Amino acid sequence: MIEAQHPEIRDLIRRLTAAGADTAASWRAITDTLWTLSVRCAEAEARLAQLRLQVPLE
């Protein structure tokens, strides 16, 4: 399951469950999670670019 591999998704599910019918809290949980994942993706892309600079082209 994806939530086992990604703590952000597990936290999102927990927060949405806790929010229940509170739509504003649900949207905050979703946008917070998307923001966190986009930051992590940008960090991973930066690390990948750095690694590519270190590997000689063949």
For residue 8, how many other CB atoms are within 10 A of its CB? 14
Check: CB of residue 33 under 8 Å from CB of residue 11.
yes
pLDDT band at 5 (very low <50, low <70, confident <90, very high): confident
pTM greater than 0.75: no
Q: Cα–Cα distance between 16 and 35 in angstroms, integer?
A: 16
- Find tokens 């670019």 and name the residue: 49
pLDDT band at 1 (very low <50, low <70, confident <90, very high): low
55: left (phi over 0), alpha (psi -120 to 50) or beta: beta
